[in-house]
Structure formats: C-alpha cells, structure tokens
Structure 1
C-alpha cells in the first residue's frame, strides 16, 4: 500500500502531550517540507482567515522578518489576505524584496487589494483555478461607508461639492498606491519594461476605469492578460494539489483555533488570535 501523507512510523521526539497539542502545526510543516522538495525553494506562509476581521497591519513585519531569517535564499510566499493598510504593505514589500534576489508569491485562493500589491512586488505569481487577485484602488472611510478614492477625485473634477480635506486624503492615498505599484513592478516582475506600459497596468488596477468593483476577480488568465508574470498550475499538478491541501489545512485550523493570522515556515510558527468583540 502506498505511503500517503502523513507518513512514517517513528515516535516523535517531543513529549506525547506536547506533540498532541501541536500536531496540526507539525502536519502543516511536514507538508511545507514536501512542497519545498518539489520547488527547491523555501516556503513561507502568511495566512489570514478572510472571514475574520484581519488585515495587513504594522504588526506583520516582525513576524515576516523572523520567517525570512538571514539566509537570503530564494523563497516562495504562500499568501492569503483581503488586504489592509498601505503603509504596512509598503514596509512588508520592502522586507520581502530584501529577503532574496528571487521571490515568488503563491495565491491558492485570495490575495485581494493590498495583497495584490504584495504579489506585484514578486518575480512571479503562482495561481490555480480558484486563485484571485483584485484591484488595488484605495478607499476612504466616510461615516459607515468605504468610498473609493477615485470616486472622490472624479466628483471634485466634475465640479461637485467635495470636502477639500477628504479630497487631499483621496489624492494622497491613490498617489501612494500607484507610486508603490509602479516602483515594485519596475524593480522585479516587469524590470526592463517601458515605464508607460507599467503605468497603464497600474492605472488599470488602481482606478475604476477597468474594474468597477474593489472586489472584482482577477484570475490567472486575466492577470496574464494585464501583463503580469503568472505561472498557472493545473488542478492535477502535484505541486498545486499539495499547495491546495496546505491552504485548506490553514483555513480549517485557523477557524478551529479561533486564529485570525498564521505565519509559518518549515521550522517557525506564529499565530494571532481573533480579538474578542468590544462590549
């Protein structure tokens, strides 16, 4: 009979009670090791439960820094997030870019909004059938609503009354996003590409001229048609099947444990619990 995952007959070196309490992590890390054996690259994981209120924020940087270490070896980042703060994303992108001369992003399911910006900073994006990126157009909170910055700017350009402070916030937010996207694409994925071509791609992603919703789905084919470097993994691809299994493990384990974020590598693991509701 084939020796399916997980395999082996040796008793763990940890004490039984400790091993049982950590068994889900050990199984995930075993699969991380299997994926690394296929790719020949380190695999880091930044997973957020997209059903929870968990965003990219300034606290992520220390955990990603620890995962990267100081080896400087080529690595892949398995990424799942709905997005988050642009300032924190800018810092994460800087940390990841300095971590190695070769850096890919794997998107099993969702890397939306500023998650897409992180993907743009890589050399290549690995995607399968359920994988989706999204527009990176920033929003501003106005009352209980999230208003696209491009809507505020368009209203002002059309002569409609707009609060001048909100207009400045909107202009600054969209300029920050577009500058970051153009910079990271020119440094890695689209290095050597004409600046005007990069500006066109970023304009498509950062305004509502091409994608009319912040939640619009950009699948592997759409991402490639934009001009991004995408490697499509078929459903029967052995690497894809292991990636999808690992991603399913993170989603299940996060919800069972009440965890909002998980940062993991073959030998390191951190998690952030979902914050209790404020009464």
Structure 2
C-alpha cells in the first residue's frame, strides 16, 4: 500500500488568520519543517541562508539578525544550517564571537555550500554536519578580488606596497582566527603542528588551487576536521535537503538576499530595488 501523503497537513487549522497565513505560508511551512528537524535532533535549529544567485555576502548587518535568532534559543544546544558563498572576514569574526558568547554547544550544518568565510565560521563549531552534496572551501581571503597569497609576493610589495601589506594583514587575520578556533574546538586534542597543517592547507594555494575548490565530507574529514556525515537515505538528511530546497525556491522566487530563521523568529532581506538579476 502506498504511503499516505500527509506532510505538511494535520487535522488542525493554522492558528494564524487565513489571510495572514496565506500571505506568509512559505515561512510557516519552513518553520513547521524546522520543528520536525528539531524533534529528530533534540537540538534547536537556526538558519542563515545567503542566496548565491544574488551573490549574498556575510556582512556587518548579520550579527544583529543572528543575535535575534539566538535570543530565542537561550543556552540550549543548537545547530546552525549555513548557506553562504562567504563575505567579509570582520563580519564573520563578529558572528563567531557572538555565537561563542551565547552558546557552549553548536554544530554547523552544510547542506549545499559554506564557502570561504562560511568555512571559517564552520571551524568554530563542535562539528560540521555534511552530506553527499555538501561543500566547504579554502579560507584564504581575497582583497579587491585578488588572493592574499598573491598579494604577499615580493613583486607586489615593489609595485603597490599598501596593497601588499593589506593582503598580509588580511591573511594573518584569517590564519590566526582559524588556528585559535581549531585549537580550542574540534581539534583541541591535536598538537599545534596538526592544527598548523590543516590551516596551511585551507589558507594557502598549496593544496587547493582555486578559491572555489570543493572540499567534500571525505576531504574535510581527511584533513582533520570533525565531520558528521549523513547518508542520502538518512531521515534527518532528507528533511534538511527538503528545507534547503524550500529556501532555494522561495529566495529565488521572492528575490530574497538572505533569510534568518528559526522555529518562531524569521526575517528576510530583499534584494535592493533596481538590482539587475545575475
């Protein structure tokens, strides 16, 4: 007998008024699924979703949004489902500081991609939950679109000394932060040399030759990161994938730049009016 199709229906009507529920049904349906996932994990779940089709970046406004989400979590263990191409290192450091100040037990969940500074944020977590589709990436920063490993070369110092120094300090900021996070977190049982080796791979062109290189779950675990792999048929993974598909569709349809969401709190940032589609 075919499985009866019930999701997301129940015998109860929404507690919101019909008009308001219909206007916000996409959000309400996502939040229903968030609650279902929380029941499976016994952990709270919050979402940072950056629309890659609009080149959404981690920026200085994200801390306030994340603080609002975490205000509903309290001191409970929580998971951060993260989708981002990366962004500003200062803003990423701010997010990490905020999370560290408010939480003692958090994981990062990467269903699709957390690249660049998204990967750096992941290094702050107890572990990174990944599946077959998940991607991390190198954390080497870019300055004016130029890799910092290029800017630190002596030839650049001769041509443009301020840019050279900017690149040096940007790279040092990322490397120092990554080492601190790994040493205090998921690699706390490893030697400083082990931590240095991982950071060297992630923050240079020695192992990954492109800033967009794919680091899948096998590679992430092989280099020493704490990875929790979920198989495609895992019940939790299937729900995480469905939730990702909801965000992908809703953001592209409504042209949301970012969505910050939990089981009870939610806000979306729209693409500025007049911005052409990529």
Shorter-chain TM-score tier = over 0.9
Task: Summarize deviations over 1:95-142 as a string: whole Å, max 9, x none.
Answer: 11222211000000000000000111100000001100000001111x
User: Which residue in the other structure is 1:267 paired with?
Assistant: 264
Distance of 1:121 and 1:151 partners within structure 2: 27
User: Which residue in the other structure is 1:45 paired with?
Assistant: 47
Distance of 1:112 and 1:31 partners within structure 2: 25
Q: Aligned residues, how many?
A: 273
User: Which residue in the other structure is 1:27 paired with?
Assistant: 29
User: Which residue in the other structure is 2:196 paired with?
Assistant: 199
| Distance apart, 1:4 and its partner CA | 2.9
Distance of 1:72 and 1:188 partners within structure 2: 18
User: Which residue in the other structure is 1:79 paired with?
Assistant: 82
User: Which residue in the other structure is 2:149 paired with?
Assistant: 150
TM-score by length of 2: 0.95
Which of residues 102, 120, 123 in structure 2 aligns to 1:120? Answer: 123
User: Which residue in the other structure is 2:212 paired with?
Assistant: 215
The alpha-carbon distance between structure 1 residues 248 and 39, as it changes in their structure 2 partners (threshold 3 A), is same
Which of residues 94, 107, 125 in structure 2 aligns to 1:104? Answer: 107
Matches within 5 A, 1:164-203: 164-203=161-200
Could you list the runs of 5+ residues in structure 1 that have no partner in the other structure?
Answer: none
User: What's the C-alpha RMSD, in Å, of the aligned pairs?
Assistant: 1.5
Distance of 1:2 and 1:194 partners within structure 2: 53
User: Which residue in the other structure is 1:138 paired with?
Assistant: 141
| Distance apart, 1:257 and its partner CA | 1.0
User: Which residue in the other structure is 1:129 paired with?
Assistant: 132
Matched, 1:14 2:16: yes
2:148 and 2:168 in contact (8 A); partners too: yes
| Distance apart, 1:7 and its partner CA | 2.3
1:72 and 1:100 in contact (8 A); partners too: yes
Distance of 2:169 and 2:197 partners within structure 1: 19
| Distance apart, 1:191 and its partner CA | 1.4
2:156 and 2:164 in contact (8 A); partners too: no
| Distance apart, 1:165 and its partner CA | 0.6
Q: Which deviates more, 98-107 or 240-249?
A: 98-107
Distance of 2:260 and 2:109 partners within structure 1: 14
After the TM superposition, which segments of 4 or more aligned residues of structure 1 sit over 6 Å from their partners? none
2:44 and 2:76 in contact (8 A); partners too: yes
Could you list the runs of 5+ residues in structure 2 that have no partner in the other structure?
Answer: none
Q: Which deviates more, 219-228 or 68-77?
A: 68-77
| Distance apart, 1:3 and its partner CA | 5.1
